[in-house]
C-alpha cells in the first residue's frame, strides 16, 4: 500500500490504471479531469468496472470489424485447391495483444460463431466447433509471450503460435470429417494439411505484414495513458 496524505490506495492499482495525480480527494487522468471522488477499494472497483466496460466495447468493435473484413476477400489462383485470404484475423489478434489471452480467446470464440453465421459449412457438430469457435478462439494465444508493447519478434511469435493452433484445429477437422475429399492415393491428413496451409499461411503472412506495426501501436495506447499531472487542480 502506498499512502497519499490520509488516504491509501493499492500501488498495483495505481500502476495498472496509470493514475497521474491526486489532490483534494480527487484522482486525475491524462485529460486533467477528475476521474472519481472515491478512495481505496471503492476506487479500485470503479476503475475495474470502467476498464471492463471499455474492454467489452473494444471486443464488440473488433468482432464487427473482423466480420466486415471477412467479406473483403482476395482470391489467389495459385493457392492449392483454390481459396482466398483476408485480414479478418487482425482485429481479434489486436484484442489479444492489447488485453491478454483471456480477452483474445473470448473475442475469437465469439467471432467464430459470427463467422459461422456468415459462411456456414457444417457436416457434424464437432467439425463445426473445430472450424469456427475453436479455430478462431485459438487466436487469443497471440498474447502467449506477453501483451504489447513488446519487441516485434515476440509479437510475431505470439501471432505465429496463434495461427499455428488455428491451423491444427482446421487440419484435425479436415482429417476426420473431409477425408473423402482427398484425391485417391493421398493420405487424408496430408490432404487436410496441404489444403488448410495453402490459404492460412499466406493469410498469416499478410496479417503480420499489415497488422504487426498497427497492433503494437494500438496496444501501446491501452488503459489510461500516462501523462504528467496538471500543476493546478480546480
Asked if pLDDT for residue 147 goes beyond 90, the answer is: no
User: So where are the chain's domains?
Assistant: 2-37, 53-220
pLDDT tens for 214-225 read: 756 655 554 333
pLDDT tens across 165-186, in order? 999 999 999 999 988 888 888 8
Q: Which of 24-33, 60-69, 179-188, 196-205 has the lowest mean pLDDT?
A: 24-33
Phi, psi of 120 (to 5 degrees): -75, 135
Confidence of residue 79 (pLDDT cuts 50, 70, 90): low
Buried b (16+ CB within 10 A) or exposed e, 61-72: ebbebbbeebee
Per the prediction, the chain carries an average pLDDT of: 76
61-65: list long-range contacts, CB under 8 Å, 24+ apart: 61/91, 62/91, 62/92, 62/94, 62/95, 62/107, 62/111, 63/91, 63/92, 63/107, 63/110, 63/111, 63/114, 65/91
Give the CATH class of 53-220: mainly alpha
pLDDT of 192 above 80 = yes
Residue 54 pLDDT level (bands cut at 50, 70, 90):
confident
pLDDT confidence bin for 228, thresholds 50/70/90: very low
Average pLDDT over residues 53-59: 91
Whole-angstrom distance, CA of residue 211 vs CA of residue 93:
9
| Residue 46: other Cβ atoms inside 10 A | 15
Amino acid at each position: 500500500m502506498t499512502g497519499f496524505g490520509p488516504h491509501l490506495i493499492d500501488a498495483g492499482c495505481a500502476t495498472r490504471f496509470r493514475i497521474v495525480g491526486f489532490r483534494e480527494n480527487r484522482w486525475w487522468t491524462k485529460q486533467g479531469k477528475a476521474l472519481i471522488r472515491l478512495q481505496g477499494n471503492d476506487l479500485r472497483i470503479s476503475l475495474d468496472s470502467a476498464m471492463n466496460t471499455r474492454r467489452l466495447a473494444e471486443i464488440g468493435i473488433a468482432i464487427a470489424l473482423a466480420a466486415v473484413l471477412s467479406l473483403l476477400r482476395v482470391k489467389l489462383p495459385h493457392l492449392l485447391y483454390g481459396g482466398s485470404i483476408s485480414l479478418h484475423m487482425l482485429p481479434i489478434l489486436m484484442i489479444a495483444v492489447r488485453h491478454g489471452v483471456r480477452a483474445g480467446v473470448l473475442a475469437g470464440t465469439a467471432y467464430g460463431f459470427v463467422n459461422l453465421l456468415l459462411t456456414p459449412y457444417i457436416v457434424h457438430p464437432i467439425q463445426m466447433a473445430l472450424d469456427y469457435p475453436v479455430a478462431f478462439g485459438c487466436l487469443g494465444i497471440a498474447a502467449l509471450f506477453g501483451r504489447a508493447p513488446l519487441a516485434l519478434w515476440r509479437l510475431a511469435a505470439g501471432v505465429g503460435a496463434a495461427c499455428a493452433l488455428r491451423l491444427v484445429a482446421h487440419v484435425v477437422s479436415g482429417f476426420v470429417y473431409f477425408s473423402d475429399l482427398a484425391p485417391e492415393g493421398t493420405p487424408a491428413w496430408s490432404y487436410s494439411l496441404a489444403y488448410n496451409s495453402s490459404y492460412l499461411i499466406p493469410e498469416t503472412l499478410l496479417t503480420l505484414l499489415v497488422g504487426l506495426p498497427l497492433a503494437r501501436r494500438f496496444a501501446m495506447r491501452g488503459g489510461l495513458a500516462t501523462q504528467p499531472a496538471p500543476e493546478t487542480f480546480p
